Amino acid sequence: MITKGEWKVCNCNGTYMPTADIHILGAGSTEEEQCIATLSYHHKDDAQLISASPDLYEALKELIARDDYGSIRLPTQARDVMLKALAKSEGL
């Protein structure tokens, strides 16, 4: 199941010390946020990419849908790369 909503990167103790963990938080079904993943400080750049995943996923789905309905025309190679990325994100 995909956690919908905005994901963000957080260092819960408020500092970016090399020993601190980086957390990726997503909006939960309640007002509280839930932790999607925890990474070591050394993977903080990966955390930014992971936190952008829901936005990138939705953008790709929208582009493919618009291409399917003819409102835009994607180059075949770009469309294939997008479909492959979507399939990977959906575990297919």
**For position 30, what pLDDT does the model report?**
47
Contacts by residues 27-35 (CB-CB < 8 Å, ≥ 24 positions apart): 27/3, 28/3, 34/3
45/56 same-domain check: no
67/41 same-domain check: no
**For position 87, what pLDDT does the model report?**
94
56/11 same-domain check: no
40/59 same-domain check: no
**For position 1, what pLDDT does the model report?**
57
Domain, as residue range, for 81? 52-92
43/82 same-domain check: no
Per-residue pLDDT of the chain (92 residues; tens, 9 = 90+): 567 777 888 776 555 554 467 888 887 644 455 778 888 878 888 888 888 888 899 999 999 999 887 788 889 999 999 999 999 988 88
CA pair distance 36, 24, nearest whole angstrom: 5
Which residue, 47, 56, 1, is CA-closest to 21? 47
SS (H, E, C) the chain: CCCCCCEEEECCCCCCCCCCEEEEEEECCCCCEEEEEEEEHHHHHHHHHHHCHHHHHHHHHHHHHHHHCCCCCCCHHHHHHHHHHHHHHCCC
11/38 same-domain check: yes
**For position 13, what pLDDT does the model report?**
56
18/59 same-domain check: no
**For position 38, what pLDDT does the model report?**
84
Q: Quote the pTM value.
A: 0.72
47/57 same-domain check: no
11/23 same-domain check: yes
